[in-house]
Structure 1
């Protein structure tokens, strides 16, 4: 039998996420549009401790070791496009690191398109014409340094970075709205054109939408940006309200 998927008749997305991540799936689900379905593969993360730079590096080791099996499993449902439900790996080692990561996924999938948080943020910032940015992450200094490297290599001026140094990958999802609100205020300066939030397990998509109204400038939540990139790459132009100006206006 051949035909069109009954629910994913426009596109089926294969989403790669760490086993420790409990935010990216429900946030992507909130932003669903008719005819597009998301199907999740989980990268096994047996040790989610990330309170130190060594812990962050160990997390990346686990992701790299278990990535192929996750993608191979996802390919059995015949996705049309791949979406990265994690961001640290896509920023690591700057622009070239993201490029190599995309190549790895395309080699495993026979050349499928890939949305990464890093590239999605790049596209969004260029769309807004931003020059100077503030950044919020759940990371330790080594993670923040890689985020700074990525954006600096693209020509953006990176002002303040607020790294929350969360103890474990699971605990990222427990960061309160108040903590995130304070972080937004901390990295915002008058000369900052946009604020970027990294870390797909931080629950910030709806808060970013609110913050844009407080600040009068773009606040780019990484899950919203990645979802936006995935939709637009596939010719899906549906506009969504409540998740930031990127999905609403662009």
Structure 2
């Protein structure tokens, strides 16, 4: 038996165009992350994203091991990655989420590469956000913990010294694969922080956007009795302040209690 022929449905075009909001979300933060990154995206969705602020992500090619040479190879991809985030639309801030690569490539070079695709957008890098956060907290003497090898850690030690900090103690864990760095248990980071923070340090900087440090910043601060700045925490804080969000969120550490004005001091 032949199936009955279906009746063609008439489709009407609504005669009035609905009103449009200026933007789907009021604020926009762009995020360029490594292809292998497990941590930054969930961190930013927890610390930055809201009903007012959207986080828009692009991933760029990266291959382990984490060496200065491999990190430097990402530089040509930064422009393309930035161009993929809301093409032809403005952003309030854009973050390149790799601490060690930003140190090796250079903050100014990272900014220049991103500005080829997104001119005039404030560019955030983890090491420079870390510097801003440490200065806002009034730290001069610091301890540093990284998951990297000595070879990859050495440029970072020089970076913080160059920015005027006295590095009391610098400890690395010897990892060369960022996927393994992301598997270090957050509670393990609390104990490591306690062991590696020098008594004379004003604050601890925990490097690497792969580490899940942002989950336990408050626990680390309670354990060592001093402020903590971590890569994803610092970039999230700076991105929020650049969007004009000045709200205090102590659940993400002392840094998140500091207002916009502190960013520039």
Both proteins in one fold, TM over 0.5: yes
**What's the RMSD between the two structures over aligned residues?**
1.9
1:124 and 1:167 map into 2 onto residues whose CA distance is 26
**Number of residue pairs matched by the alignment:** 239
In structure 2, the gaps of 5 or more residues are 1-18, 260-265
* Separation (CA, whole Å) in 2 of partners of 1:2 and 1:118: 39
TM-superposed CA distance for 1:38, in Å, is 0.4
Does the Cα contact within 8 Å between 1:14 and 1:79 map onto a contact in 2?
no
Task: State the SS of the aligned residue for 1:12.
Answer: strand
Give SS of 1:16's match: strand
TM-score (norm: length of structure 1): 0.88
Q: Residue 72 of structure 2 contacts residue 104 of structure 2 at CA under 8 Å; is this kept in 1?
A: no
SS in 2 for 1:74: coil
Structure with the larger helix share? 1
Instruction: Return the index of the structure with the highest Cα Rg.
Output: 2
* Structure-1 separation of matches of 2:95 and 2:72: 20
CA deviation map 1:92-141 (0-9, x unaligned): 26xxx212222222233112111111111111111111111111112111
Whether contact under 8 Å (2:137, 2:255) holds in the other structure is: no
Correspondent of 2:37 among 9, 21, 32: 21
Q: Structure 1: how far apart are the matches of 2:117 and 2:22?
A: 24
Matched position secondary structure for 1:205: helix
Look up the match of 2:223: 214
Structure 1: runs of 5 or more not aligned: 51-55
Matched, 1:40 2:52: no
Note closer, same or farther for the CA distance 1:64–1:243 as it changes in structure 2 (3 Å cut): same
Partner of residue 263, structure 2: none
TM-score w.r.t. structure 2 length?
Answer: 0.83
Aligned partner of 1:100 in structure 2 is 109
The CA distance in 1 between the partners of 2:145 and 2:94, in whole Å, is 25
The runs of at least 4 aligned residues of structure 1 exceeding 4 Å deviation read: none
